[in-house]
Structure 1
Amino acid sequence: MTTSRHAWTYTLPSALLLMAPFDILASLAMDIFLPVVPAMPGILNTTPSMIQLVLSLYMVTLGVGQVVFGPISDRIGRRPVLLAGGALFAVGSLGAAWSSTAEAFLCFRLVQATGASAALVATFATVRDVYASRPENAVIYGLFSSMLAFVPAIGPVTGAVIAEALGWRAIFLTLAALATLAVGNALLRWHETRPVIENGKRPWVLPIFTSLPFWVYTAGFSAGMGSFFVFFSTAPRVLIGRAGYSEFWFSLAFATVALVMIATTRFAKTFVGRWGVAGCVARGMALLVCGAALLGIGEVYGSPSFFTFILPMWVIAVGIVFTVSVTANGALADFDEIAGSAVAFYFCIQSLIVSIVGTLAVTLLNGDTAWPLICYATAMALLVSGGLWQLRSWSRGQETPLQRDSQ
């Protein structure tokens, strides 16, 4: 049995203003930095591979940290984890702003990612504590998804404007200022919501790792988000480095992909109701392959441009939304009693897949071309499609003869 420590009495808009900044900042710290990525090797006297490592380790830390901070928040509470995470994010941002070497910059970005991870865990744990059985639950998750889909649209544009007007260091000073405001607001208004476990019994998590649906749908989420990760890792080098885009025009081109994702999200309920979880993921994987094929045609027969690089990414973007809108439901459906641990492992595993496999694709293939994205999207889509086929065979094997005859 569990009981809640406090009643959460905030209205929905007030609660969103309190919680959303921590969700947004974790993603914004990735996207706002993109316009200056091509210039960072020269600024810090390092290599493009080192800057790619900065991007990748941020995502790894963001994922792994959730597995660490999830149990901590269950033990000591959401509020201290959130406040500490927000403070670490601000400190990491300040340190990155004043770094003069690649090593120092990498270290402070890891501090920033650690803080973002703690704040994310505490935020989503609070949503679960307060809204799990309330109708606002779906509204909050829907709004969070829309906000995060919009961050890639405004993040690079904002970063380009700030960097052009005030220099690259101002980007991280801005992140530090926003985090400080969010922590100050939370310090005054965010009370503890962690349920008190009265019987002291802790469920076992092994069934998570032996579940075929968990692995298939986690891989599906990794295919979608990993394709986006490889895209934003290579896009600056392709469009700014090869196509000659300015940082501002690159940001606008990049933003169109996010806008396609936002537009597709508006129809999520419709296609989920029509196709179901497996059907949405299968169509998402097909769109990833189609987009990769279009990118391949453009790479072989054309030159880097909006039409050969961004338009095919629109197709992949639709596939990403089809996929990531439903994979959590598929992966976590059987773990209501251990949902917190399942969510933590779900995000941790996909972060590791995305960062490790995505980074290998960018590093081993030519990161100045579309080939890393082509290969990652195609390989992961084929892997997930095979998993869906296996899952369908497994599901039919669980049916009784009477159920099979009725179909």
Structure 2
Amino acid sequence: MPSSIAQSSAGQAATKPVFANGVPGWFSLLLGFLTAVGPISTDIYLPAFPAMEQSFHTSAGNVQFTLAVWFVGLAIGQLSVGPLADRYGRRMPMLVGNALYAVASAICAFAPDVTTFSVARFVASVGASASLVVPTACVRDVVSDRAAGARMMSRLIMVMGVVPILAPMLGGLVVEFVSWRIIFWASAVYGVVCVALVLWILPETLPYQKRQALSPMTLVTRYVTLLWDKGYGIYAMMTAFSTFMSFSYLTAAPFVFVQLFHFSPLHFSMLFGVMSVFMIGASQVNGLLVGRVDPGRLLYGAVAMAVLGTVLMVGVSVWSVWYASAASREYEVWLLIGTMVLALAPTGIIFPNAMTMALADHPAQAGAASALAGTLQYVLGALAGVVVGQFAATSSLPMAGCMCFGAVMMLCMHVFRPADRVVA
């Protein structure tokens, strides 16, 4: 009898909303800080690529390959973490994942060669994948309205963007004055802080009665069902090709600007920060427009701007290869930066709207849906890294061409989107 009463009390407690008086502002800040594990680990060591090439006595392509390894680990990890988060709740995968990330980042800090570094980065990325999947699922847990979800996702992107702005600047400072290895000791500390935040502050947002069964066949069926849903597949692929475009820039930009245009690591990190400011600004404009402007129109406008920006980038790159002279190199830099802003800023609008629409009809499988979308993103991100790494950093054309391909594919996805999901 007492056990029945206990179970009844537990069931009643489980049905209570996580936030009885509405989602507090600190919740978005917390989720943003946790999600930033992925962006900070991607961005902070970009200015160190040339220094790592010298330290490991390896080629630029091998250093770029470490970024592709990071993306592959994130893709594989998310496929596992999503269903685990739907089965065991949101907190446990976050605790284990961030602990694994912290330990592997410490190994990266004293890796003697690029092979050891790559293996440790892969393990770290598997751990970091929890911080990419779970916060998005938490948003779906506590906010069911699409417009409200898109606004909260925009705030999440803003908070996520603060760390990536600072990260490459700090990375540039580290490379300028001390060893690049300090970057990964700092990453290990960041992972420990995330473990503490999850342990003591993050509430459990998935009630026991909403948790899903976990078995190999169930997982396969769940993912097949999601992919079979045309609406989910279209919007998930839009976020994936947005990632392809962004990671083409992330992979190539350090070598294009540091080696080709002779930026110092600090100046490159400042340029990276400027790009992040425009992306964050676009996400905040999106938060103001959601609920007032049809999300389909927002997506179309943002995708069209990205296509225009990347086409202009290709034009500038072709001009620089065949027609520009040494005297016009300064104009080339500014034209390239301007077109990059036009291409990358719209991702702050594309991602929150496309991701919200992808998850909208799958509240019971928010973890798996978020994981599959994230996996698609990082698979294409890894592909972008591999493709860009095949070209020597002798011009900006490979970067511009890959970014243009991603933007055009987003436009193709948008053309085939389900018309019934464009209304918030």
Instruction: Give the TM-score of the pair, scaled to structure 1.
Output: 0.85
2:404 aligned with 1:378, yes or no?
A: yes
2:381 aligned with 1:354, yes or no?
A: yes
- Larger mean CA deviation between 152-161 and 287-296 belongs to 287-296
What is the correspondence of 1:318-337 to structure 2 with a 5 Å cutoff? Answer: 318-337=345-364
Which structure has the higher relative contact order (CA within 8 Å, separation 6+)?
2
Q: Deviations over 1:258-302 (max 9, x none)?
A: 111122222114555565333333323322222123222322334
Residues 234 and 368, structure 1, Cα contact 8 Å, conserved in 2: no
1:339 maps to what in 2?
366
1:308 maps to what in 2?
335
CA–CA separation in structure 1 for the residues paired with 2:226 and 2:160 = 27
State the 1:244 CA deviation: 0.8
1:403 maps to what in 2?
none
CA–CA separation in structure 2 for the residues paired with 1:42 and 1:92 = 22
2:107 maps to what in 1?
95
2:86 equivalent among 54, 71, 74: 74
1:28 maps to what in 2?
40
1:113 equivalent among 121, 125, 133: 125
2:325 maps to what in 1?
none
CA–CA separation in structure 2 for the residues paired with 1:20 and 1:104 = 30
Given residue 89 of structure 1, which amino acid in structure 2 is its aligned partner?
Answer: Y
2:302 aligned with 1:290, yes or no?
A: no
Q: What root-mean-square deviation, in Å, do the aligned CA atoms of Structure 1 and Structure 2 show? A: 3.2
2:195 aligned with 1:183, yes or no?
A: yes
Gap change, CA 1:246 and 1:327, over 3 Å in 2: same
2:14 maps to what in 1?
4
Residues 223 and 377, structure 1, Cα contact 8 Å, conserved in 2: no
Q: Deviations over 1:214-259 (max 9, x none)?
A: 2322222223222111112111111110111111111111211111
- Larger mean CA deviation between 35-44 and 333-342 belongs to 333-342
CA–CA separation in structure 2 for the residues paired with 1:174 and 1:209 = 38
CA–CA separation in structure 2 for the residues paired with 1:182 and 1:199 = 24
2:63 aligned with 1:37, yes or no?
A: no
**SS in structure 1 opposite 2:263?**
coil
**SS in structure 1 opposite 2:251?**
helix
State the 1:359 CA deviation: 2.4
Gap change, CA 1:327 and 1:141, over 3 Å in 2: closer
CA–CA separation in structure 2 for the residues paired with 1:81 and 1:73 = 6
CA–CA separation in structure 1 for the residues paired with 2:211 and 2:47 = 52
1:363 maps to what in 2?
389
Gap change, CA 1:2 and 1:42, over 3 Å in 2: farther
2:189 aligned with 1:171, yes or no?
A: no
Residues 365 and 371, structure 1, Cα contact 8 Å, conserved in 2: no
Identity of aligned residues (%): 24
Instruction: Count matched residues.
Output: 394
